[in-house]
């Protein structure tokens, strides 16, 4: 293999390896004084607590119907398998054991480490939490 091609492929593999190591760690949920902060590789948004409705679903993500994939977590539009909405916007690290958040007419699926504790904290901060 010619040296320039070898160097290019080595550089490309290194960049991809670093990207795949960093990308999953960029998914974060934080409860700030302003609202629920959702951070992912591409952006960070803050949803005010007053406009949120949250619940612990009994379903899980189904077939992906739109969006781009990232190694280590699920983003994009998915069918919902279970009670509730037909489709959700996922910002998650797994397919189940998460929280549904309704904000501005959209339903999001998040996967905090402790869903019950997360819902309790949302309730204490003024979000509408459904049992």
72 pLDDT band, cuts 50/70/90, is low
Question: Which pair of structure tokens corresponds to residue 49?
Answer: 């607590």
Quick check: 71 and 24 in contact, CB under 8 A?
Answer: yes
Higher pLDDT among residues 93 and 121, named by residue: 121
Give yes or no for a contact between 92 and 109, defined as CB atoms under 8 angstroms apart. yes
> Whole-angstrom Cα distance, residue 77 to residue 106?
11
| Integer CA distances (angstroms), 90 to 22, 53, 61, 131, in order | 19, 16, 8, 21
**Nearest Cα to 76, choosing from 47, 41, 52?**
41
The residues, ordered by sequence, that sit 6+ positions from 66 with a Cβ below 8 Å of its Cβ are 76, 77
pLDDT above 60 for 24 = no
Q: pTM value?
A: 0.78
- pLDDT for 80-103, tens place per residue? 998 889 999 998 888 999 999 999
Give mean pLDDT, residues 53-75: 84
State residue 9 phi and psi, 5-degree precision. -65, -35
| Tokens matching residue 109 | 């699926």
Confidence check: pLDDT of 114 > 80: yes
């Amino acid at each position: 293999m010619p040296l320039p091609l070898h160097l290019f492929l080595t550089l490309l593999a290194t960049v991809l390896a670093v990207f795949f190591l960093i990308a999953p760690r960029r998914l974060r949920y934080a409860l700030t004084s302003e609202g629920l902060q959702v951070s992912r590789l591409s952006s960070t948004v803050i949803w005010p607590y007053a406009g949120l409705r949250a619940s612990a679903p009994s379903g899980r993500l189904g077939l992906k119907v739109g969006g781009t994939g990232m190694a280590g977590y699920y983003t994009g539009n998915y069918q919902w398998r279970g009670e509730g909405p037909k489709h959700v916007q996922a910002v998650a690290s797994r397919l189940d054991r998460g929280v549904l958040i309704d904000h501005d007419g959209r339903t999001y699926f998040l996967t905090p480490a402790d869903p019950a504790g997360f819902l309790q904290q949302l309730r204490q901060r003024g979000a509408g939490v459904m049992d």
